[in-house]
Structures are given as C-alpha cells and as structure tokens.
Structure 1
Amino acid sequence: MGKRIPAFCPWNGYGGYRGAKSGKAKKLEQSANAQVLITSYPLIQREADIYQSEPFDVLILDEAQAIKNQASKTAQAVRSLQKASAFALTGTPIENRLEELYSIFNTLLPGVLGTKKAFKTLENEEISKRVRPFILRRMKKDVLTELPEKDEQVQYTNLTDDQKKLYVAQVNRLAKDVDSAIEGGQFQEQRMQILAGLTKLRQICCHPQLVLPDESYKSGKFDRLLEYVEEGIASGRRMVIFSQFTSMLSMIRAAFDERGWLYHYLDGKTPAKERLALTERFNEGEHSLFLVSMKAGGTGLNLTGGDTVILFDTWWNPAVEQQAADRVHRFGQENNVQVIKLITSGTIEEKMLEMQEQKKALVEEVIQPGEQQLKSLRPEDVKELLSV
C-alpha cells in the first residue's frame, strides 16, 4: 500500500510500523514526521498499548471484515484506538451474520445501532434505514466502467463409481449420527463432529484420497480439472486455480509436475515478500498457472496477469469466492475474465450452491450478499445437505 501513496499524495510522507524488536516496546517516534502510518491488524492487537497512546486524526480500516467479531482481541484493540474520525473499507461488510455489521459500526460510530441486544431485535428494514446514511456503496460495474467483461459459469462433474460408493457410505454414516444427535437432544453438543463429517463429504467430492490417502481412487472433478487445464494451456489461457484444501493443492501440484506444467504456488506458509514476488512474476508473464489457497490468497493479491479463475471446491461463503475471483477481475485487467466453479452433481456441493442462493437474498435486504453461516446450521439444514 505504501507504494501507492506517493502516486496520489506526493507531498505526504508515510511510515510503516513493523513492531517491536527483541520484545522491547518501541514508540511510534520513528514515524513522527510522517502524516500517514501503515500497520497491520496483528500488530495493533499485539502492541495495543503502544497504539493506544497515540492520538490519530483519521483511522482507515482496510479489509474491515477483520473486525467482524466484536469479541475478538483484534476488534477490541482497534476500538481502543484514539481517533477523531474513522472509515471502514470492505467488499464484504457482512460475511456470516448481521452482527458482523454491528461490530464494524460499533467501532466507527459507537451507539448508532444501540446495544447489541437491542440490535438483534431490529428488523432488516430498520437496520438498513439506520446504516444507509453512513454507507457509500459502489459496485464494480459502476466505478470501473473500462473493466473487461467477466463470464461466470458453473461446470458440473460426476462422481466416479468408486467415488460414489464412498460418498454414499459417508452420507449414510453421517445421517445416522445426525438422527441420533437430534433424537438425544445433543445436536448442539455434537455440532463440531457433524461439521467434520460434512467436510469429509466435500473432500470426497474433490478427491477420495483426501480422506483415504493410502487407497487408490479416481476423481471425476480432478480428471475434469486436468482436462480443462490442458485445453487452457493449448489455447494460451493463463489460469489461477483456488482450493481451500492445501492437501488438494498438493495433489494438483503432483499432477502438474508429472505433466511438466510450470506453475506458481501460494498458501498460508508463503512469506509476505515471496507472495509479492510471485504475483509480480506471474503478472509479467512467467508461467501460465497459479495455484492458490483460498484462505491465504483470496484477498490482498493482484493477479491481473491471469484471465481464467477456477474455483475447484465450494466455499460456504459466496463472498469469499467472489473475492478470490476479484484477484483477477480487477483494476488493471485488460482481458475478458472467465470464472469457472466446479460442482459435483448430486452431492453436498450442489446443495451448498442452492443454500447460498437462498441466503443471499436475506442479507441483500440490508447491504451485501452473505453466506450460510456454519454455526447457524439447523438440524433440518444438515438433513437437507445430506439428501441425495
């Protein structure tokens, strides 16, 4: 971000605060002559006492969904900062539930939405009315009129025969567990085990070897991905492939290595400096493939050197998938972008897709599309996910 400031404000000095060294508190004196201080949420949380002692004229929170959980240490640390005014920038002010919007507003304008208890009783229309004067919402199509088109499509794949047998067995096993939990009044207590079972179903859709690594299985979706990539390379496309499972990315890497396909790779373990270098090299034309972990690379990356996004597996939150696609379809993109979501027919992935669409409408009433939040899954929702 610091590189962009001189371009817009050449008169404005800026400083970056990287944190205390050797465990000793370091004041912000190193940036005393700067008018803009750039830091991070982890640093604010870790060294809150240092930041609390410094009054700021303006606080700008980029990717403000980082403070969506009002009870988190990060949100508490940010709220403790002294500021004359504050702004929040985010493409997803609501990711999981309406209370996340409350957390952001409670940081910017404490009291405007009342107490949290009172907020929970408000109708969506009333919430929308209260926040509307303070929100400037800009759609990409309105502000980036020169941006090339984005073609989004869902491509359905089928389970292989062995894959389907494994999937059905897991569905039956999980359905019995869910029924038992409901009958015994233990659904809430066994929520984590049930969610783990749902994750296993999603992994089987990706590739059975994610759950049975020592067995030999085929995956319809995995085979289709390799076919698509081969076709894309032949036609000169530059592809960015996202998956939430790093174990799945490892399997894709192995297949690419076997075929001699060159690629870049980024996940949560990739150092910050290396992340930047990888994206710059890709954007300059090095390699036509980029494998990215959804959580690690879904935000903060500029991958305009690509023209195709492949979402290998489905995420509960469509906003996360949208942000991943926007790594490629963003300012600076000169080519039309194709976004492909791979969905396994007749499985939990198809059910999740339906559930996402149903839940989008609710949050859209207030401000922004949202997600089916895992913690709000009701017993009937889980049973619907397991229906085949």
Structure 2
Amino acid sequence: MVILQGLTRLRQIANHPSMVDETYKFDSGKMEEILRRLDNLHNESHKVLIFSTFVKHLKLVAGELDARNYGYCMLTGETHKRKEVIDEFIANDSKSCFLISLKAGGVGLNLTVADYVFMLDPWWNPAAEAQAINRAHRIGQKNNVFVYRFISHNSIEEKIVHLQQRKKELADTFVNSANPFKSFNKDSIMKLFD
C-alpha cells in the first residue's frame, strides 16, 4: 500500500507540485503548457475536453480558467446533475472547456461539440484513455479531433507511458497472432514486470 501511495504522489507532483505541497507557490511547467494551449484554442473558439485522473488537478485548472474568465463545466464523481452539466457544455458556446475526471467521464458520453482533447496525466490502463478520447471521436463529429497528452519529462509519467506501450504490444501480439504463445519466452514475459 505504501508503494501505491508513493506512486500516486509522484504522479501528482508531475501534474503540479502544489497537489502534494499546498505551501508550494510557484509555477508548474505542465500547467503553463496547458494554459498556453488553452489560450490559443479559446481565441479560436474551440471546445476542449480536459481529462485528469485527479479531481484536485482539475480544480487547479478550473482556478486558472476562472482567472481568465473562460467558461467551463466540470464532471467528477461528485457531480450530482450529470446530464445537466453535459447538456450545458454542449449547448452553451461560452463554455469552451469541459473538465472531466477520467473515472467519471470515461464512458457513456457523446461530446462531439469538442474538437480537442487534453489528457493531463497518463493512466495505467491505455484502454481507459482511449475511451476518454472517444468521447469526442463519435458519429456526428464533423471536425478533426486533436489529442494532446501532457507528460512531464523525466517523471513517473514517462514510465507509465512506456508501460502502456508494452501492454499495447502484448495485446496486439495476442490479438493478431495465430499462435501468440509462440512469440513469448521467459525473458519477454519477465520484461512485463520490470
């Protein structure tokens, strides 16, 4: 359990150090890049889905959006009027951003009004991220959908992305091979646990 807590803290620090140290009053490189891109997209009237596994991170982004007077909606596990929040984002052009916790909004949403998706942090399971991205990439989408993944350099996030790639390669081997076990030996299986 201590290891899992440590990994969670490393993931939070990669997002913004103030997520673990509330006395931290400096900038975050990731937040600066998120806001730079949002400023550009806001000026061009795009709608953006912003996913994070951490509600606290979404609230930090919301504070920055408030400071810029950007309209947004937020959907987390704490949201009681889910349908109303979704409808508000879809119908209201002044709501340019939809902040969504990955677990609350990864499935069952059709948000084709958005043409940009921001993944603020990687999740261990690449399928969960793919489901989130598919909220914008649905039947009825008339525009190209652009996806930005924000990965902090030299952080636990790079390790997670590497793990995702290995999981995908493993899944592809099993799905696309007539005899998937033939391509595996003890070493290739042990690499999954590195």
Q: TM-score range by the shorter chain?
A: 0.7 to 0.9
Matched-pair contact (CA < 8 Å) for 1:242–1:311: yes
Which amino acid letter does the alignment assign opposite residue 129 of structure 2?
Answer: E
- Normalised to the residue count of structure 1, the TM-score between the two structures is 0.44
Which SS does the other structure have where 2:71 is aligned? coil
Matched-pair contact (CA < 8 Å) for 2:117–2:147: yes
Q: How many residues align?
A: 180
Which SS does the other structure have where 1:344 is aligned? coil
Aligned to 1:270: 79
Aligned to 2:141: 333
Measure the CA separation in 1 of the matches of 2:137 and 2:46: 14
Aligned to 1:50: none
Matched-pair contact (CA < 8 Å) for 2:72–2:99: yes
Matched-pair contact (CA < 8 Å) for 1:202–1:348: yes
Is 1:217 paired with 2:29? Answer: no
Q: CA deviation at 1:284?
A: 2.5
Q: Which moved more, 1:322-331 or 1:345-354?
A: 345-354
Q: CA deviation at 1:213?
A: 1.0
Report the CA distance shift for 1:319/1:244 in structure 2 as closer, same or farther (over 3 A): same
Is 1:283 paired with 2:114? Answer: no
Which SS does the other structure have where 2:151 is aligned? strand
Aligned to 2:62: 253
Instruction: Work out which of the residue numbers 40, 52, 68 in structure 2 matches 1:231.
Output: 40
Measure the CA separation in 2 of the matches of 1:253 and 1:282: 15
Matched-pair contact (CA < 8 Å) for 1:285–1:305: no
Structure 2 unaligned spans of 5+: 177-189
Q: CA deviation at 1:354?
A: 1.4
1:13-49: CA deviations, max 9, x gaps? xxxxxxxxxxxxxxxxxxxxxxxxxxxxxxxxxxxxx
Aligned to 1:318: 126
Is 1:299 paired with 2:107? Answer: yes
- Normalised to the residue count of structure 2, the TM-score between the two structures is 0.86
Q: Stretches of 4+ moved more than 4 A in 1?
A: 377-380
Which SS does the other structure have where 2:99 is aligned? strand
Q: CA deviation at 1:378?
A: 9.1
Q: CA deviation at 1:362?
A: 1.5
Larger radius of gyration, structure 1 or 2?
Answer: 1
Q: CA deviation at 1:233?
A: 0.5
Measure the CA separation in 2 of the matches of 1:305 and 1:215: 36
Measure the CA separation in 2 of the matches of 1:378 and 1:275: 42
